Structure 1
């Protein structure tokens, strides 16, 4: 079943006095199936961050549609958008976005508190999550007291505790050392295997090699895509690297 449909997205930014126009997205169309794990890659300035912001309902396109479970998020009113994000989307950011004045547990609970979920329900949801993410023994600590890997696992718990339809990850391994990055990528694979749909924007070839499909954005449009199929992570890594080299050297569309 198709969970996310992106249709003919275009985004043009206008400078303050209207003198210049910058076209960040020209014509982006793709879909994501329920339970799929998709990575989006592209050079800086290719439009992938703009695309992620639109998918997260943080920005609106100049034209086009974004359908999540059949609902066009582009047309949702500003009054309803925050509740829509909490109910449907989970977010994992490069810089964790944890509140230092909140314990790890309270950071995880925050989206449910905003939704007025009961404490007993929050606790019931947290227990298996914290065990699976190996943070059950540090929930009373504060973000400045734990490692980067533990912060990111906390951020993953916060993203998952609302049972989102779609997890959006923005460079999730960008602030982590290699060991913590490997750990997080294993976690992402496991939660995807359990049925969670993930869409990840990344510069990391290694991170993208764990996805079941990689979309490449170039000049504001989808340039190419690779399906993993039965490929190993190593073989997928090589295919991604080859495609990035073609993009970097100005090659044409890949067959």
Structure 2
């Protein structure tokens, strides 16, 4: 069953000073099945960030639709969009986006506070997640007191605690050292195996090699896609590298 359907998505920006039009997305279509782990790759300027902003309901397309469990998020009005985001989407960002004046515990619980969830239910959800992520002993600390890897685990806990339909990850390993990045990718694999649907935008071939499917975006369209199938991470890594070479050297489109 498709949890996310992107149909004929277009986005045209008009530059502020010259009035020139720039097409960031052109007739982009794909779907994501419930429980999938999909990575999106492409060169800078390929439309990845624009796509992520539209999927996150932070921007609206010029044309097309985005269906999350059948609901067209493009048509949700401004009054309802924040609540929809909190209740249906989880976010993991490269720069963590934690509030420095909040403890890790308060950062994690913030989506539930904003949704009006009662405190006993918050506590019930908090401890299994933080124990699983290895940050249970750090909850009273503040973001500036912990490592980058611990900050990102906190961000993952915040993304998961609202039990979202879809987790959107934007370069989640970008600010981490190699050890912390490996730990985060293993964590994503484990969370996905438990049924969480993940869509990750990344420049990292290593990060993408952990996904079940890799979509390559070029000039605002799907250029190619790879399915893991029976490949291990090393084999998928090699396939991704070959596709990126084809993408940058102008190889033929192959969907």
TM-score band by shorter chain is over 0.9
Deviation at 1:44, TM superposition (A): 0.3
Give the superposition deviation at 1:249.
Answer: 1.1
SS of the aligned residue for 2:138 comes to coil
Paired residues for 1:226-237 under 5 Å: 226-237=226-237
Secondary structure at the aligned position of 1:173 is classed as coil
Shift of 1:167: 0.1
Count residues with an aligned counterpart.
255
1:242 CA displacement: 0.2
Whether 2:145 is the aligned partner of 1:165: answer no
Q: Which position in structure 1 is the counterpart of 2:103?
A: 103
Q: In the alignment, is residue 204 of structure 1 matched against residue 225 of structure 2?
A: no
Cα distance between partner residues in 2 of 1:254 and 1:90? 31
Q: Any stretches of 5+ residues in structure 1 without a counterpart?
A: none
For residues 15 and 28 of structure 2, the distance between their equivalents in structure 1, rounded to whole angstroms, comes to 22
Q: Superposition pairs for residues 6-155 of structure 1, below 5 Å?
A: 6-16=6-16, 19-155=19-155
Q: C-alpha offsets along residues 154-208 of structure 1, whole Å, 9 cap, x if unaligned?
A: 0000000000000000000000000000000000000000000000000000000
Aligned partner of 1:2 in structure 2 is 2
2: CA distance, partners of 1:254 / 1:199? 21
SS of match in other structure, 1:188: helix
For residues 111-144 of structure 1, give each alpha carbon's deviation from its aligned partner in whole angstroms, at most 9, with x where no partner exists: 0000111111101101100010000000000000
Which residue does the alignment assign to 2:213?
A: 213
Asked if 1:193 corresponds to 2:193, the answer is yes
Take 1:188 and 1:32, find their aligned partners in 2: how far apart are those partners?
17
CA RMSD of aligned residues (A): 0.8
Compute the TM-score of the two structures, normalised by the length of structure 2: 0.99
* More off after superposition, 194-203 vs 8-17: 8-17
Q: What is the aligned partner in structure 2 of residue 180 from structure 1?
A: 180
Secondary structure class of the residue paired with 1:137: helix
Q: Which whole-Å CA distance do the structure 2 matches of 1:171 and 1:15 have between them?
A: 26
How far apart are 1:60 and its partner, in Å? Answer: 0.2
Structure 1 counterpart SS, 2:74: helix
Q: Structure 1 segments of 4 or more deviating over 4 A?
A: none
Unaligned runs of 5+ in 2: none
SS at match of 2:136: coil
Query: Deviation string for 1:77-135 (max 9, x for gaps)?
Result: 00000000000000000000000000000000000000111111101101100010000
Deviation at 1:17, TM superposition (A): 5.1
Q: How far apart in 1 are the matches of 2:35 and 2:192?
A: 7
Residue-by-residue CA offset, 1:28-71 (whole Å, 9 max, x unaligned): 00000000000000000000000000000000000000000000
The Cα shift of 1:254 comes to 3.5
User: For 1:180 and 1:230, how far apart are their aligned partners in 2?
Assistant: 26
